[in-house]
Structure 1
Amino acid sequence: MTGPTPATLDEIGVQILWNRLLSVVEEQAQTLVRTAFSTAAREAGDISAGVFDMRGRMLAQAVTGTPGHVNSMARSVVHFLDAFPPDTLRDGDVLITNDPWKGTGHLFDLTVVTPIFLDGVAVALFASTTHVVDIGGLGASAEGRQVHHEGLYIPLMHLAREGRMNEDLLGIVRANVREPVQVVGDIYALVACNEKGGQRLLEMLREFGLRDLDALGEAIVQRSRRGMAEVIGRLPQGTWTASMTIDGFEAPVTLAATLTIAGDRVLVNYAGTSGLSRYAINCPLCYTEAYTAFGLKAALAPWIPNNTGTLDAFVVTAPENSIVNAPHPAAVYARSVIGHMLPDVVYGCLDQALPETVPAEGTSSLWNLSLLAGHGLTAAEGSAVRSFNVTTFHSGGAGARPRQDGLSATPFPSGVRNVPVEITEAITPLVIWRKELRQGSGGAGRQRGGLGQRMEIANRDGAAFGLQARFERGEYPARGRHGGGPGATGRLSLGSGAGLKVKGLQVVPPGDRLIVEMPGGGGHGDPFSRDPALVARDVRHGLIAPEQAAEAYGVVLAATGELDAAATARRRAGR
């Protein structure tokens, strides 16, 4: 079938082809999800997928995926092209790395790039990333002191040459990880999804009579950049600053940002942020850029497709040797602890420029449960234990929005899906005895903060098991905005009563249970301005207690549970 040449692409043609590209990369992502071995990809969708032109510019990304993966991957492909120029690549080549500074921020994320050839000429690159269950070293631990502690480091290299897999590399992977079947299975899933994307792209090019993506790619990038410029140009021009204190590891961490809206760009500088941690909560700049850009785009122009043209509107800088610009060989495994908090800091700036636009602070950093058992980790000396290693994705509450309550048990900004408890129970000896919303954990406000959740976990075998904790909001809660109250802090404890730390390996003794209480999001606006009927509804649904309704909201309920309007009016008037 013949079609328009690149030089004659019109408005309708660009839109058709652009949408077609979006469907191609979504099928690419779904191929990864459906063929992956690990729960991170298969259940939580902790992946990314996208198509790039031969200059390394991301033209389209899949909807399925996380901002940290997508936006850092968007900048990573140029590193592959620097190491392997297009004229050195051959049909059937596949490239790979998990370099934290050239990929997506830590060793557990494998990024695979595949060049696609049409009639012997390289026309595009497909890239994908997934979070593997293990990469060796200390495992899913925030306790490393250098990246060398954190597992197998794969530099930019060939995973396949002209269709032949690099069996030496796969052998090294198998020898260095605790779950070789899952990890190698995920590597093949990455190869498969890029191959599927390439097949669909070639079908598209042939259907429309195109020889390459040059003209379409240029149109996509330029139109997206113009769209962002128009949005930013209408914003107030100026500079605003904000800061936030979070738990950190060995000491509290200050995250400080200065946001400047100037012309058609938004600049964010993290000067004033704490220096490097001794532990693995440091964040490479690529991951800092990824979540900063996502937070800004989500607030300012969520309708514009995400690609290189969009991302170029945001300029992110940070002092070297700060916790948001960690150089090699800093330990970076738990970089999400910091990276996921950055939209909250940036929103502290943006709220001053654009009031009533951004949400209150939320739990933000995920409360993923990396659960395990094994010799040397959880077993008593001289005893055998049934080994397992699983990461199950969960979250506390999101911050209240200016006109809506915060979402409960919802991960913003990462957007990963929850892993069903049945999956965890099916592949480990664990039992999740309880998983429920945590009453009263959302910050009070005209709009209430989202609730965290409470989970109760035990080992069916009666043996000890461990949790690699890397959580935030254990000491410093999510703050409300414009008079809203803070969310509840998070807590780890044992069923027998003892408290646990929110970072580091925590061991649950034989026969005991792990209690996980996740934080809540901050509230937005004066709680006494909340509609009393909504407060009464929250009490009926078990989201807050009657005592909290009276104390935080000034809402009095009758013994029947119905709203006592007269008593409420008196209480609010007497505040």
Structure 2
Amino acid sequence: MIASTPPRTTSEVQYQVMWNRLISVVEEQAQALVRTAFSTSVREAGDLSAGVYDAQGHMLAQAVTGTPGHVNAMADAVAHFIRRIGRENFAPGDIYITNDPWEGTGHLHDITIVTPSYYNETFVGFFACTAHIVDIGGRGFGADANSVYEEGLYIPIMKLADRGVVDQTLMRIIRGNVREPDQLVGDIYALASCNEIGHRRLIDMMKEFELADLSGISEFILSNSRRATLERINALTPGMARGEMRTDGYAQPVDLKVQLTIEKDRILCDFAGTSGLDKKGINCPLVYTKAYACYALKCAIAPEIPNNAASLAPFEITAPDNTIVNALHPAPVALRHIIGHMVPDAVYAALDQLLPGRVPAEGAGCLCNFQVSLRPRSDAPAPPHARRAEVLTFNSGGSGARPGLDGMNATAFPSGVMTMPVEATEQVGPVLIWRKELRADSGG
């Protein structure tokens, strides 16, 4: 009689090694996107996100490179892909796409690509990534649209590739509706390629550790992250505080108001009382508000706990419908970051009353983004070398003073994106920048 081999068990040390490996996998995924993207917003500023998800659509790990607005919003997006596509329609070689502001990451200028991952013909999870692309058609990257319909081409959640075959009809529609078709299509392929790189590295890891699926490592990551986050929250003194800030609007100021409540096992942020929808495209879908409110709380309370579905879950964000931080379709949302980047400061205005000496002061907040749309003249014959160009440049002010330390110059908090070099901006279009500097004592 031959003795049976006992089932192989995985130790906590091995799971911790796998967890760290997953973070490395998605960081390589993000760096591949940086190296291959066409848009300067990705290549130069790092305005992107990348992550790996289990078979249920829970985010397990995110890349270090990327922005909280993209990462935390994308954490919720995969569930929409599962619902819209349907598990029964998943297949190896599939690639899914959207730029839906409410089921993606907040405005039409973000393309999100989701790829199901298969190992030995078994579905094991997803890779997802998002990038801010320079042009999506419509009125361009500005606040002048009256509704989302004017802001550019809308791509619902759908298959970009079905069993490895790219939908060329979709590609022709995209090319026919944007000003820089080669650039946008190049970015879409870069997004799809970086997911494929993440998939390959995941399969290498699964082979090395003899994993049939991700259920074990998923349970380890999510249970430990949730427990650690709850321990941090429950170590705080329960309480409630209100915070608010006023920012310049267009026709009138915008008021952000938040009630923050620390309870057992959760922290609540309620934005009741915040200004209503704006006629300009600075309105913010709730998914983006949630992304930055959660980021602010996590930075202050559990900064060293890796970002994933479980470590974000105890932070609950609500806002009344059609306030400027919970804009419903079809509100214009192209510049939703103008409000979204102010959300952490409003949250910190409340949190500072409950945890004094822990949060930073207000900084520059929102990025200063300039987009120049250049086209050959139409009132006279254009020179032979004239060409269309979309030039986008990101500029950061500075972060607010930290407890015991000054703020950091030219550093974007909360977005984390990088200021674009002058040379990179001049290289992509017929633009010359004569002078760029920080004004002393301006706060960025």
The TM-score bracket by the shorter chain reads over 0.9
1:423 counterpart = 2:420: no
1:372 Cα shift? 2.5
Whether the 8 Å CA contact 1:25–1:61 is kept in 2: the answer is yes
The answer for the alignment partner of 1:332 in structure 2 is 333
The answer for the alignment partner of 2:51 in structure 1 is 50
The answer for the alignment partner of 1:263 in structure 2 is 264
1:135 counterpart = 2:125: no
Within 5 Å, give how 1:85-164 maps onto structure 2: 85-164=86-165
The answer for the alignment partner of 2:395 in structure 1 is 394
1:237 Cα shift? 0.5
The answer for the alignment partner of 2:348 in structure 1 is 347
1:340 Cα shift? 0.3
**Cα distance change, pair 5–295 in 1 and its aligned pair in 2 (3 A):** farther
State the one-letter code of the partner of 2:189: Y
1:280 Cα shift? 0.5
The answer for the alignment partner of 1:363 in structure 2 is 364
Write the distance in 1 (CA, Å) between the matches of 2:55 and 2:86. Answer: 9
The answer for the alignment partner of 2:204 in structure 1 is 203
Write the distance in 1 (CA, Å) between the matches of 2:298 and 2:378. Answer: 50
SS at match of 1:369: strand
Whether the 8 Å CA contact 1:6–1:210 is kept in 2: the answer is no
State the one-letter code of the partner of 2:120: D
1:184 counterpart = 2:178: no
State the one-letter code of the partner of 1:112: I
Whether the 8 Å CA contact 1:54–1:86 is kept in 2: the answer is no
1:398 Cα shift? 1.4
Write the distance in 1 (CA, Å) between the matches of 2:381 and 2:396. Answer: 34
The answer for the alignment partner of 1:287 in structure 2 is 288
Write the distance in 2 (CA, Å) between the matches of 1:128 and 1:191. Answer: 8
SS at match of 2:395: coil
Whether the 8 Å CA contact 1:6–1:214 is kept in 2: the answer is no
Write the distance in 2 (CA, Å) between the matches of 1:5 and 1:310. Answer: 34
Taking CA–CA contacts closer than 8 Å with sequence separation of 6 or more, which of the two structures ends up with the larger relative contact order? 2
Write the distance in 2 (CA, Å) between the matches of 1:373 and 1:166. Answer: 30
1:87 Cα shift? 3.0
1:69 counterpart = 2:74: no
SS at match of 1:434: coil
Write the distance in 1 (CA, Å) between the matches of 2:217 and 2:85. Answer: 24
RMSD over aligned CA atoms reads 1.6
Q: How big is each residue's C-alpha offset from its partner over 1:447-484, in whole Å with a ceiling of 9 and x where there is no partner?
A: xxxxx2xxxxxxxxxxxxxxxxxxxxxxxxxxxxxxxx
Write the distance in 2 (CA, Å) between the matches of 1:7 and 1:213. Answer: 15
1:219 counterpart = 2:234: no
Write the distance in 1 (CA, Å) between the matches of 2:405 and 2:87. Answer: 49
SS at match of 1:368: strand
The answer for the alignment partner of 2:170 in structure 1 is 169
The answer for the alignment partner of 1:437 in structure 2 is 438
1:407 counterpart = 2:402: no
**Cα distance change, pair 204–128 in 1 and its aligned pair in 2 (3 A):** same
Whether the 8 Å CA contact 2:410–2:419 is kept in 1: the answer is no
Q: How big is each residue's C-alpha offset from its partner over 1:248-303, in whole Å with a ceiling of 9 and x where there is no partner?
A: 22211000000000012110000000000111100000001000000111111110
Normalising to structure 1: TM-score of the pair? Answer: 0.74
My pick for the range that moved more, 9-18 or 95-104, is 9-18
Write the distance in 1 (CA, Å) between the matches of 2:442 and 2:330. Answer: 38
1:5 Cα shift? 11
Write the distance in 2 (CA, Å) between the matches of 1:8 and 1:220. Answer: 17
The answer for the alignment partner of 2:30 in structure 1 is 29
Unaligned segments of structure 1, at least 5 residues: 443-451, 453-575
Within 5 Å, give how 1:297-308 maps onto structure 2: 297-308=298-309
Whether the 8 Å CA contact 2:396–2:418 is kept in 1: the answer is no
1:227 Cα shift? 0.6
1:119 Cα shift? 1.1
1:387 Cα shift? 3.4
1:436 Cα shift? 1.9
The answer for the alignment partner of 1:310 in structure 2 is 311
**Cα distance change, pair 338–383 in 1 and its aligned pair in 2 (3 A):** farther
State the one-letter code of the partner of 2:359: V
Write the distance in 1 (CA, Å) between the matches of 2:415 and 2:251. Answer: 25
**Cα distance change, pair 59–7 in 1 and its aligned pair in 2 (3 A):** farther
Write the distance in 1 (CA, Å) between the matches of 2:221 and 2:289. Answer: 25
Write the distance in 1 (CA, Å) between the matches of 2:27 and 2:388. Answer: 36
1:429 Cα shift? 1.9
SS at match of 1:267: strand
Write the distance in 2 (CA, Å) between the matches of 1:240 and 1:425. Answer: 47
Write the distance in 2 (CA, Å) between the matches of 1:382 and 1:287. Answer: 44
Q: How big is each residue's C-alpha offset from its partner over 1:512-541, in whole Å with a ceiling of 9 and x where there is no partner?
A: xxxxxxxxxxxxxxxxxxxxxxxxxxxxxx
State the one-letter code of the partner of 1:110: I
**Cα distance change, pair 31–216 in 1 and its aligned pair in 2 (3 A):** same
Write the distance in 2 (CA, Å) between the matches of 1:125 and 1:269. Answer: 32
Structure 1 runs (4+) deviating above 3 angstroms are: 4-7, 379-387
SS at match of 2:435: strand
**Cα distance change, pair 216–242 in 1 and its aligned pair in 2 (3 A):** same
**Cα distance change, pair 5–123 in 1 and its aligned pair in 2 (3 A):** farther
1:13 counterpart = 2:14: yes
SS at match of 2:432: strand
SS at match of 1:304: coil
Whether the 8 Å CA contact 2:95–2:113 is kept in 1: the answer is yes
1:251 counterpart = 2:252: yes
Write the distance in 2 (CA, Å) between the matches of 1:53 and 1:214. Answer: 7
**Cα distance change, pair 370–207 in 1 and its aligned pair in 2 (3 A):** same
1:430 Cα shift? 1.5
Write the distance in 2 (CA, Å) between the matches of 1:151 and 1:301. Answer: 38
State the one-letter code of the partner of 1:120: E
SS at match of 2:419: coil
Whether the 8 Å CA contact 1:7–1:215 is kept in 2: the answer is no
SS at match of 1:254: strand
SS at match of 1:8: coil
1:235 Cα shift? 0.9
**Cα distance change, pair 209–368 in 1 and its aligned pair in 2 (3 A):** same
State the one-letter code of the partner of 1:329: P
Whether the 8 Å CA contact 1:86–1:122 is kept in 2: the answer is no
SS at match of 1:117: strand
Q: What is the aligned length?
A: 437
Larger Rg: 1
1:319 counterpart = 2:341: no
1:217 Cα shift? 0.5
Unaligned segments of structure 2, at least 5 residues: none
State the one-letter code of the partner of 2:185: V
State the one-letter code of the partner of 1:254: D
**Cα distance change, pair 6–359 in 1 and its aligned pair in 2 (3 A):** farther
My pick for the range that moved more, 166-175 or 426-435, is 426-435
The answer for the alignment partner of 1:372 in structure 2 is 373
1:437 Cα shift? 2.2
My pick for the range that moved more, 80-89 or 344-353, is 80-89
